[in-house]
Amino acid sequence: MPSRQSPISWIREAFRVTNDGRSEPVRNRSAFAGQGDAELVALARGGNAEAVRALVQRNNQQLFRVARGLLDNDAEAEDAVQSAYLAAFTKLETFRGEAAFSTWLTRIVMNEAYGRLRRQKPVVDLTEYRKGMRNALDGDLPNSMTPPPTTPESELARVEVRRLLETAIDALPDPFRLTYIMRDVQELTTREVATLLGINVITVKTRLFRARRLLRSELSKNITGGFSGIFPFDGARCAGMADRVIRSLAQHHGG
């Protein structure tokens, strides 16, 4: 049975050092895309940096959208996702496989985001969120949503449509926003959302109904169907996250 590589060696092998001392990722062309999460997790535990990269790129979109649903800033959400990855991959042995790997990661990024919210706004915490903000669910909603700006170009340009959607979603009350992003944007099942938020299925459906009703009052019908592109995290941005996670793991284990 081959010996397991040390955390330092396998992470460092994922990078080559250039003449000026910078590290560059060494990409394996093997087809990791066809492998399941369980296989990739096993490889990652055994020291395969490309398996780590594949898992990061596979989960980036969902984790970013969840973090963005809690945090009002793209940069803060991206930083929260990276911190969550570092926490996950430095303690990968704690993943027991009782839930899907993506669910485990999502819980970690939610905890990271909630921690940031507590530091920023002490009045917001997980207990309050899980109670569902009963006043809001009873219909006592503050009139906090402001109409997104509209221009003639917004009806034609996809980027403007996406901006309008993101603005409207950002204006949703906290419990509705995260529920909506998880269910309608990320397309998790109702039961998956309930499990992640620690609430029952009926509460998920109630929040989702109210979120959709609020959005309908803010958005014109001609942008219906443009939801798949909101809060994107793909391309170079997605690849860059994988590179940063592996580089940070190397620094963590090297320190």
Q: Are residues 210 and 242 in the same domain?
A: no
pLDDT of residue 31: 56
pLDDT of residue 233: 79
Tell me how far apart the alpha carbons of residues 236 and 193 are, in angstroms, rounded to a whole number.
Answer: 28
Please report whether residue 143 resides in a domain.
Answer: no
CATH number at residue 190: 1.10.10.10
Tell me how far apart the alpha carbons of residues 70 and 177 are, in angstroms, rounded to a whole number.
Answer: 8
Helix (H, G, I), strand (E, B) or coil at 56: helix
- pLDDT tier for residue 161 given thresholds of 50, 70 and 90: low
| CA torsion, ordered 242, 86, 61, 125, to nearest 10 deg | -160
Please report whether residue 106 resides in a domain.
Answer: yes
Q: Are residues 37 and 97 in the same domain?
A: yes
Query: Does the pLDDT of residue 176 top 50, yes or no?
Result: yes
Q: Are residues 197 and 77 in the same domain?
A: no
Query: Does the pLDDT of residue 24 top 80, yes or no?
Result: no
Q: Are residues 238 and 221 in the same domain?
A: no
Q: Are residues 181 and 155 in the same domain?
A: yes
Please report whether residue 158 resides in a domain.
Answer: yes
Query: Does the pLDDT of residue 71 top 80, yes or no?
Result: yes
Tell me how far apart the alpha carbons of residues 163 and 192 are, in angstroms, rounded to a whole number.
Answer: 27
Mutual angle of helices 101-120 and 74-90, in 10-degree steps: 130
At 101-148, the pLDDT tens digits run: 999 999 999 999 999 988 876 444 445 544 444 443 444 444 444 444
Tell me how many domains the chain contains.
2
End-to-end CA distance of the chain: give it in Å, rounded. 29
Tell me how far apart the alpha carbons of residues 114 and 71 are, in angstroms, rounded to a whole number.
Answer: 9
Q: Cα–Cα–Cα angle for 159, 61, 98, nearest 5°?
A: 160
When pLDDT is averaged across residues 147-172 and rounded to a whole number, the result is: 64
- 8 A C-beta contact, residue 218 and residue 171: yes
Please report whether residue 142 resides in a domain.
Answer: no
Please report whether residue 132 resides in a domain.
Answer: no
Please report whether residue 25 resides in a domain.
Answer: yes
Please report whether residue 127 resides in a domain.
Answer: no
Q: Are residues 212 and 240 in the same domain?
A: no
Helix (H, G, I), strand (E, B) or coil at 61: helix
- Greater confidence (117 vs 3) lies with 117
- Residue among 151, 197, 145, 149 nearest 175 (CA): 197
pTM of the model: 0.62
**Structural element, H or E, at residue 126:** helix 126-130
Tell me how far apart the alpha carbons of residues 169 and 209 are, in angstroms, rounded to a whole number.
Answer: 14
- 8 A C-beta contact, residue 154 and residue 161: yes
Please report whether residue 46 resides in a domain.
Answer: yes
Q: Are residues 153 and 209 in the same domain?
A: yes
Q: Are residues 243 and 221 in the same domain?
A: no
Tell me how far apart the alpha carbons of residues 90 and 45 are, in angstroms, rounded to a whole number.
Answer: 10
- Greater confidence (68 vs 15) lies with 68
At 186-230, the pLDDT tens digits run: 889 999 999 999 999 999 999 999 999 988 877 754 455 555 666
Q: Are residues 118 and 27 in the same domain?
A: yes
Residue the block writes with tokens 């006043």: 135
Tell me how far apart the alpha carbons of residues 33 and 45 are, in angstroms, rounded to a whole number.
Answer: 18
Q: Are residues 246 and 203 in the same domain?
A: no
Q: Are residues 161 and 238 in the same domain?
A: no
DSSP 18: -
Q: Are residues 166 and 40 in the same domain?
A: no
* Residue 219 domain boundaries: 148-229
CATH number at residue 57: 1.10.1740.10
HSE-up of residue 208 (Cα within 13 Å, Cβ side) = 21
